[in-house]
Amino acid sequence: EDASRAQGVVPNGAGAYWTGYDECCRCGNAAGNFSGLSPCWASAGANTSFRACCTFYGDATALPSLPCWRDAGGLRRVIELRLLGRQWNFKQSVSDASNIHVVMPRVLWPTAYALAAYLAQTSERHLMGRHVVELGCGLAFPAMVASLLGAAQVIASDSDRVGLRLAEAHAARSLPDRVRDRFTTRCVDFRNIMAVATLAPADVVLCAGQMYDATLLEPLLRALLALCARGCLVFMAMGGAWPPGQSLAYEFLNMVAGAFSVQEAFRCEDRGFVHHFSGIGCVMLAYRRQKK
């Protein structure tokens, strides 16, 4: 196997759709960094070219894709990208890159980037002067973008203290003082409804990812209901190309249908927020005020 890698032989399935992206571009794949290997793209269509996929988030030599916590040089500590005309440098904690549950809130994911990009292109009227809460924020990229777009108060919440410290440090480095004062973090697990209640009420709720575990759907719905009691908008980037991701996203949208209406829903890739075949959906929900 090692010899085949040295000769540039692509793993099985590497030329097909999102698996091709995953094997050919993703920094964190178990086989190492396959970015730029021509066999990956020899039979690929136009939308799965090296240029279209591997360089989506930046130059492939610097940032082949997200999540990016390991490349050919070893563990990756910093992610660099541009959005809203600004340079963002996210420090990551990847001391145990083999444990996905430890790494998850401490690195930047495609759903977080997609949600941040979605906010950057949406009308500022949805955020200007609003109280915004991000659930399961990790490095809190969407929450920081909301702060830049004029939100009056932004609370980035997560149950992982290491991820929150990374978010705080990045906000201190990257947000202007006038914006930094409107951004804060809170250690809150959205499965704890009493803790979530301390964040309410919210005008806007942000949520990226979370569609990887069916047991999170009901707590997430309860958290949204608690935060949105007086009415709110919910911006989400959800799903993914792996089998559970999209099915859980559809299941969640069915669950919330009684309380929320879908204002907008589209494939994030259609607006250039994520790479082709990511399977990630961008959604805006509005809370239906309940009649007394």
Q: How far apart are CA 61 and CA 80, in angstroms?
A: 12
Higher pLDDT, 193 or 68: 193
pLDDT confidence of 100, banded at 50, 70, 90? low
Three-state DSSP state, 207: strand
Tell me the mean pLDDT in the region 270-274.
85
Residue 116, pLDDT > 60, answer yes
Higher pLDDT pick, 68 / 169: 169
Q: Read off φ and ψ for residue 13, nearest 5 degrees.
A: 85, 0
Residue 180 burial (CB < 10 Å; 0-12/13-18/19+)? middle
The arithmetic mean of pLDDT across residues 158-184, rounded, is: 95
Per-residue model confidence as pLDDT tens digits over 194-224:
999 999 999 999 999 888 889 999 999 999 9
What does the pLDDT read at residue 159? 95
Max Cα separation, the chain?
69
Q: What is the pLDDT of residue 282?
A: 95
pLDDT for 2 equals 29
Closest alpha carbon to 133 in 249, 227, 253: 227
Q: Mean pLDDT, the chain, as a whole number?
A: 80
CA 101 to chain centre: 15
Reported as a single tens digit per residue, the pLDDT across 12-68 is: 333 344 445 555 555 544 444 445 555 555 555 555 566 655 666 655 555 545 666
How would you classify the pairing of strands 78-83 and 74-75?
A: unpaired
pLDDT above 70 covers what percent of the chain?
69
DSSP string, 63-118: --SSS-SEETTEE--EEEEEETTEEEEEE---TTTT-HHHHGGGS--HHHHHHHHH
The pLDDT confidence band at residue 285, using thresholds 50, 70 and 90, is very high
pLDDT for the residue numbered 72: 52
Tell me, what's the pLDDT at 106?
85
| Global pTM value | 0.82
pLDDT band at 99 (very low <50, low <70, confident <90, very high): low
Q: What pLDDT, in 10s, does the model give residues 217-265?
A: 999 999 999 999 999 999 999 987 566 778 899 999 999 999 999 999 9
- For the residues 172-190, what does the mean pLDDT come to? 95
Residues with Cβ within 8 Å of residue 69, at least 6 apart in sequence: 27, 28, 75, 76, 92, 94, 97, 103, 107
Q: Above 80 in pLDDT, residue 291?
A: no
Q: What is the pLDDT of residue 141?
A: 96
Percent of the chain, pLDDT > 90? 48
Q: What is the pLDDT of residue 3?
A: 27
Question: Residue 104: what pLDDT?
Answer: 81
How far apart CA 233 and CA 227 sit, in angstroms, is 10
Q: Which of the given ranges, 16-20, 93-97, 162-166, has the highest pLDDT on average?
A: 162-166
Q: 248: part of which helix (H) or strand (E)? A: helix 243-256
What percentage of the chain's residues is helix, strand, coil (to nearest 5)? 40, 20, 40
Instruction: Tell me the domains of the chain and their CATH numbers.
Output: 1-65 (no CATH), 110-287 (3.40.50.150)
